[in-house]
Amino acid sequence: MHKCPNCGERLEAFQPLVFGNIVLLDRGVLLFNRERLALPRCQHEIIEALVRAEGRALTTAHLAGCLGGEIYDQSIAVYVGRARSTLRSVDPDFDQIDCVRGFSSYKWIWKSPEAPSTTCRTGDRSAHPGINPMRETIQ
């Protein structure tokens, strides 16, 4: 156990949040299906809130609160759509952000970590136009 030399608070080592096939590393950075992604703040915070809820539905009002400030429900829908699009760049069949109809809510659906894809994702980028150069495969 380490203590802060200034205030005496107990310091703990950062532990990444692991939930199935996603690992939240640091602000804006996560591993999805073993591929590292750097996300804009709003996308990352929405994904982080949904993953931390461990399958429970979160209302758009709660997600707006996670982002801070005055954010409208429609803005949350746009950010969720962008997050889905980013994750579909890794897995075209991505369907883990579920909209709970009638409750204006979203939830993250747990999926087990899968074996690495057999397709090339980071090798020959010319064969894969549109691949995010910020993304890399983690072995």
Q: Give me the residue spans of the domains in the chain.
A: 18-112
| Average pLDDT of the segment spanning 63-82 | 90
Q: What does pTM read for this prediction?
A: 0.72
pLDDT band (50, 70, 90) for residue 14? low
Q: What does the alpha-carbon distance between residue 115 and residue 107 come to, in Å, rounded to a whole number?
A: 24
The CATH fold assigned to 18-112 is: Arc Repressor Mutant, subunit A (1.10.10)
pLDDT band at 1 (very low <50, low <70, confident <90, very high): low
How far is it, in rounded angstroms, from Cα 104 to Cα 63? 11
Q: How many CA atoms lie within 13 A of 139 on its CB side?
A: 1
Taking residues 46-64, what's their average pLDDT?
95
**Signed CA dihedral, 91, 114, 35, 44: sign only:** positive
Does 38 score more than 50 pLDDT?
yes
